[in-house]
Amino acid sequence: MKALTTELNEWQIMRSKKINLVVVPLLLTACSHNDGPLVQDVYNNQYDCAADWNTDTCEEENNNASSGYYAGSYGSNRYLGPQYYQNNREVSFRGHTLRPRSNLSVGQPTVSTTLKSSSLSSPIRGGFGRGGMSFGG
């Protein structure tokens, strides 16, 4: 009988170790942040930017070469949407999560490694449970 008890205990310990070996790497992978660089969509006008995001999250592109009066029109600058992480196109704005309604942007988005401190919105990092599912209602 003692041999059977010893075998059961060894089996339970081995089983426990196997579970730990599988669970730990899964948790490390799920909790790591690989959201990519910060990007901002570029728009030809404020209307397109606001249609995707929200008027308050759009900003006029700061490009001194094309600012002001140009070719007979004033304010012909392009607009930038809010900063978001490349692999997670969501931002937090006034306590709510915003996702773009469409994609009216033109060309390549601008890429940055630094977060703008003057922005009214902030990018949301992906992470555990961000694979198209939500947990906890």
Place of tokens 């931002």: 91
Q: Which of 114, 101, 52, 116 is nearest to 81 (CA)?
A: 52
Quick check: 84 and 53 in contact, CB under 8 A? no
Per-residue pLDDT tens over the stretch 102-127 = 999 998 888 888 888 777 788 888 76
Read off the pTM.
Answer: 0.58
In what helix (H) or strand (E) does residue 94 lie, and over which residues does it extend?
Answer: none
State both tokens at 30: 């799920």
Per-residue pLDDT tens over the stretch 46-57 = 999 999 998 999
Lowest mean pLDDT among 5-19, 59-73, 81-95: 59-73
30/3 Cα distance (integer angstroms): 41
